[in-house]
Amino acid sequence: MKRIFSGLQPSGVLTLGNYLGALRRWVELQESYDCLYCIVDMHAITMPLEPTALRENIYEVAATYMACGLDPSKSTLFIQSHVAAHAELGWMLGCKTPMGWLNRMTQFKDKAGKDKEKASLGLYGYPCLQAADILLYQTHLVPVGEDQKQHIELTRDIAQSVNSAYNASLFTLPEPLISEIGARIMSLRDGNKKMSKSDPSDFSRINLRDDTDLIVQKIKKARTDAEPLPDNFDQLADRPEARNLITIYASLQGQTPQKVCETFSGQLFSIFKPALTELVIEKLEPISHRINELLSDKGELARHLKKGAERAEELASPTLRNAQNIFGFVAR
């Protein structure tokens, strides 16, 4: 059975972008693949984050995974730092990755901002840790949003160069799996910016745990234009905000954006927005309700995560041993 690996950072509230770009797809995939879904806490410390917030976020991500439909009896759900092999292989791959490759990573440029001297070594080297996450499990497919494509391509480059440097087939080359619709959900305030949990404005995003009132307000205030909707999605090319809202609707409803345009053709946003609001609430309400239920028993969440870590460790250890041996380390 083909193997899947993906992960999410416990660095803040999860958004509709995470759901449509990643989580929703993960749930479908667990029916036909051997899936590992990780809470990448070691990635989350590459940016400033209070320890108490990190701890809460880890439980929240675990609860969100399960509330969205990831089932610990079908998928391996675990916390990255529970499996030491990630850090170990991450270091080894870092020693085999030219700085020139890391310099091209756009996420580092975005996250480091203007003052690169102040960015941490961890933030810079983070793609090597991500490569280790994926390569440890001989992963075939990595379901992610569009923004992660570059990191998966780098992972392939690292795998290929290590395999050929040691003339060994140490790592399987993974492929990114990116949905056609929903791979890039944009901010509600600016249709050219990604919807992100790190945007300073809460009104730029819909969080999976937002209550009904807040969802109503956020969609009401979402930036749009005064034009009616066209009957053809291609005509929205230079109307990024309108394009985004149609994409969200399509993605939640399981229709093509073209079909949604046909349904709402000629209508103004005063008609479309209430329909979108109703759909978002219908889909998110059960999830946020379930997240709250799951968070009320953290012991139970911890038990699932421990089991997941045990399985992940077993799967990771042959690859790590093999890599250590090939690199020339002496076995204990």
Tell me, yes or no, if 194 is annotated catalytic: yes
CB of 322 to ligand TRP, least distance (A): 20
Annotated catalytic residue 197: yes
Q: Residue 41 binds what, of ligand AMP, ligand TRP, none (CB under 5 to 8 Å, by partner type)?
A: none
- Where along the sequence are the contacts to ligand AMP (CB under 6 A)? 8-9, 17-18, 20-22, 144-145, 147-148, 183-185, 194-197
What order of strands is seen across the sheet that includes strand 3-8?
76-79, 34-39, 3-8, 141-143, 175-177
- For tokens 């660095």, the residue is 11
To ligand TRP, the closest distance from the beta carbon of 236 in angstroms equals 27
Residue closer to ligand AMP by CB (options 128, 170) is 128
Clarify whether 96 is annotated catalytic: no
- Euclidean distance between CA atoms 177 and 6, whole angstroms: 10
Cβ(22)–Cβ(42) under 8 Å? no
Residue 134 contact partner, candidates ligand TRP, ligand AMP, none, CB within 5 to 8 A by sort of partner: ligand TRP
Q: Which residues pair with 79 in a beta bridge?
A: 39
Question: Can you tell me the distance from the alpha carbon of 124 to that of 121, in angstroms, rounded to the nearest whole number?
Answer: 5
Residue 185 interacts with, from ligand AMP, ligand TRP, none (CB under 5-8 Å by kind): ligand AMP
Q: Where are the alpha helices (DSSP H) in 69-189?
A: 85-94, 99-102, 106-112, 121-135, 149-165
Instruction: List Cβ neighbours of 310 (8 Å cut-off, separation of 6 or more).
Output: none
Residue 5 interacts with ligand TRP (CB under 6 A): yes or no: yes
Of these partners, ligand TRP, ligand AMP, none, which one is at the site of residue 18 (CB under 5 to 8 Å by kind)?
ligand AMP
| Residue 272, token pair as written in the block | 């479309």
Backbone φ, ψ for residue 11 (5° rounding): -110, 5
CB of 322 to ligand AMP, least distance (A): 28
- Long-range contacts from 264-268, C-beta under 8 angstroms, 24+ separation: 264/229, 265/229, 265/230, 265/231, 266/228, 266/229, 266/231, 267/228, 267/229, 268/226, 268/228, 268/229
| Interface characters, 136-155, with ligand TRP (x: CB under 6 A) | ------x-x---x--x----
Quote the tokens at residue 231.
């009957």
Q: Which two tokens stand for residue 257?
A: 């954006």
Stretch that binds ligand TRP, among 129-137, 197-205, 213-221, 272-280 (CB under 6 A): 129-137
Q: Which residue is nearest to ligand TRP (CB)?
A: 7
Number of residues that bind ligand TRP (CB under 6 A): 13
CB of 11 to ligand AMP, least distance (A): 7
Spot the catalytic one: 96, 114, 149, 197. 197
Q: Is position 134 an interface residue for ligand TRP (rule: CB under 6 A)? A: yes
> What would the x/- binding string for ligand TRP be over residues 15 to 44, using CB under 6 A?
-------------------------x--x-
Q: Give the range of 126-134, 187-195, 232-240, 300-308 binding ligand TRP by CB under 6 A.
A: 126-134
Q: Name the residue nearer to ligand AMP (CB basis): 79 or 170.
A: 79
Q: Which of 2, 74, 118, 194 is catalytic?
A: 194
- Please give the Cα distance from 140 to 134 (Å, whole number): 9
In angstroms, what is the minimal distance from the CB of 232 to ligand TRP? Answer: 33
Residue type, 80: Q
Hey, what are 244's tokens? Answer: 């985004």
Q: How far is CA 53 from CA 12, 49, 56, 279, in A?
A: 8, 7, 5, 31
Q: 130 contacts which partner out of ligand TRP, ligand AMP, none, CB within 5 to 8 A by kind?
A: ligand TRP
Active site residues: 111, 194, 197
Residues lying near ligand TRP in the complex (CB under 6 A) are found at 5-7, 9, 40, 43, 130, 133-134, 142, 144, 148, 151
